[in-house]
A and B are shown apart, each in its own frame.
Chain A
Amino acid sequence: NAGVTQTPKFQVLKTGQSMTLQCAQDMNHEYMSWYRQDPGMGLRLIHYSVGAGITDQGEVPNGYNVSRSTTEDFPLRLLSAAPSQTSVYFCASSYGQWATEAFFGQGTRLTVV
């Protein structure tokens, strides 16, 4: 049982480049979300999805795009990378929408130079 799989684990981008962080889960969870983790700021919600075809913005959505075409996959797109997007990104999934624990991927360490 793979759980939540994130790729890549590390990435370096130049300012202005675009890229997609991949996230897949095999637990048939309806709820998926993306967080970024920055020193001293905990985890902040970027975007979330409550099911295939349904997405919405979280706390810090600017500069990011998401889509949810299947239950399993929830990719995060950086449209035009900026140094302020240097962070560790986590994808998470959960069975329920708010009352259940989240399962996290291994994280992606992104550096924008």
Chain B
Amino acid sequence: AQKVTQAQTEISVVEKEDVTLDCVYETRDTTYYLFWYKQPPSGELVFLIRRNSFDEQNEISGRYSWNFQKSTSSFNFTITASQVVDSAVYFCALSEARLGGYQKVTFGTGTKLQVIP
């Protein structure tokens, strides 16, 4: 069964600290995509990154970095030198292909990050 687990419900860090948000997934498919979305206090959902199952290279975008490890079925997200604007709920999601065009997307329950000034 397809499943995404974000075990950290809430995390608080002091500004400028580094923080890692964990995401562990389960799938029987060999072809799938993983995503991270950010939901700031204003409520909208914003796409951050997409990674396909054949690309295990880590990615860095400014203060954000992602560590994809198929061996442990994890796709963790690290924010370096956190800022107050990083305060948000972060969702990890898994997308599997299905015949007939059904996009099977499963979201984790989210991790609420609070960055304290």
Which A residues are within 8 Å of any B CB, using their own CB?
31, 33, 35, 40-45, 48, 50, 56, 88, 90, 92, 94, 97-107
Known contacts A90-B45, A106-B43, A106-B44; is-contact A98 B105 (Cβ 8 Å): yes
Which B residues are within 8 Å of any A CB, using their own CB?
4, 9, 33, 35, 37, 43-47, 50, 52, 91, 93, 95-98, 101-105, 107-110
Provide the residues of chain A in CB contact with B50, threshold 8 Å.
99-101
Asked if residues A43 and B107 are in contact (CB atoms below 8 Å), the reply is yes
Q: Which 8 pairs of residues, A with B, have the shortest CB-CB distance?
A: A104-B45, A98-B103, A42-B107, A101-B47, A43-B107, A50-B101, A42-B109, A97-B101
Asked if residues A99 and B95 are in contact (CB atoms below 8 Å), the reply is yes
CA distance A31 to B100 in the complex (A): 13
CA distance A31 to B102 in the complex (A): 10
Provide the residues of chain A in CB contact with B33, threshold 8 Å.
98-99
Contact of B95 among A50, A98, A105 (CB under 8 A): A98
CA distance A92 to B91 in the complex (A): 15
Provide the residues of chain A in CB contact with B108, threshold 8 Å.
42
Provide the residues of chain B in CB contact with A100, threshold 8 Å.
50
Provide the residues of chain B in CB contact with A107, threshold 8 Å.
43-45
Q: State the Cβ distance, A50 to closest chain B Cβ, in Å.
A: 4
Asked if residues B96 and A98 are in contact (CB atoms below 8 Å), the reply is yes
Contact of B44 among A31, A48, A98, A104 (CB under 8 A): A104
CA distance A102 to B97 in the complex (A): 15
Provide the residues of chain A in CB contact with B95, threshold 8 Å.
98-99
